[in-house]
Amino acid sequence: PDDAILRQCQVIFFATPHGVALEAAGEFIKKGIKVIDLGADFRLQDQQQYQNWYGIKHTQNELLAQAVYGLPEVYREQIKNANLIANPGCYPSAIILALKPLLEANAIDTKSIIADCKSGVSGAGRAANVATLFCEVNESLKPYNVNHHRHKPETEQALSAIAGVEVDFIFTPHLVPMSRGMLACVYVDLLADIDAQKLFENSYTDEHFVTVLGAGSVPETRSVRGSNFCQIGVKKTADGKRLIIMSAIDNLVKGASGQAVQNMNILFGLDEKSGLEQIGLLP
């Protein structure tokens, strides 16, 4: 960008292929410009893990060390003073919000978590790809990258940080024939007899963008379409030993651009809801 433009710039959003922010973000930060990266270049703290999953050697040790994971419901205070924000992926956003209250309460077995997730086709990006052509996805539902999705290590890293112990989970993402939307159904083994409904309501009572539905209600992707909201519902199994957490977001908003704007608002001391009340839909 032109230097004259940069002198007026306070924040830059990277919505670019992996590796672009890795090489360019540092120069903007040196100029005093905040950076919010919607890609994965600064999400994983383990550089070798990043190279294994994204096929790119991570060369920015200092930048990685100062990067803040941009999930406001978990890292709001750190975001306020960040120079570099790693905007979370869509699946991690839905799964982490579904598990945060339980991990903070040490209420679940951290080694027996299962996340069964469905995403609209926009989650695969806009590039031409046979697998996402209309005739390939219409009237069909399919799992993909079973337990080997790039978002798995990112999610485990964040969950482990919240829990204070290593968290591992089975992750099966699915592609569904709709443009946008994401639904995560997360299954956990409870360590104690808890009131899950009250736990979630208390945990998210001050979070504008997380809606804990009433007992017996379930989230729907259409209810959060085009919004920055996450809807959560919980249901115990009949024996009370397991819990099902259902989490719905718009993968393009709370799972991407909306969350990036939410992070910017926090970064600059603005109302967290600014720019996120009315959103045009594309697609």
Sign of CA dihedral 243, 244, 246, 251: positive
In this prediction, residue 4 carries a pLDDT of 84
- Average pLDDT of the residues in 65-88: 98
Tokens of 183: 């639904």
* Region of poorest pLDDT, from 79-88, 122-131, 172-181, 273-282: 273-282
Judge whether 117 counts as a catalytic residue: no
Tokens of 83: 């120079």
Give the Å distances, CA to CA, from 230 to 42, 97, 171.
24, 8, 19
Residues 137, 190 within the same domain: yes
Tokens of 197: 């409904």
How many residues are there in the chain? 283
Structural domain includes residue 283: no
Residues 99, 71 within the same domain: no
In this prediction, residue 3 carries a pLDDT of 82
Residues 133, 71 within the same domain: no
Tell how strand 142-143 and strand 182-189 pair up: unpaired
What is the DSSP secondary structure assignment for residue 108, as one 8-state letter? B
Domain count, the chain: 2
CATH of residue 97's domain is: 3.30.360.10
Q: What is the pTM of this model?
A: 0.95
Sign of CA dihedral 246, 251, 256, 257: negative
- Average pLDDT of the residues in 175-181: 95
In this prediction, residue 283 carries a pLDDT of 62
* Per-residue pLDDT tens over the stretch 194-218: 999 999 999 999 999 999 999 999 9
Residues 20, 106 within the same domain: no
Domain housing 134: 90-251
In this prediction, residue 282 carries a pLDDT of 54
Structural domain includes residue 197: yes
CATH of residue 51's domain is: 3.40.50.720
Catalytic residue, candidates 90, 117, 185, 230: 90
Residues 97, 115 within the same domain: yes
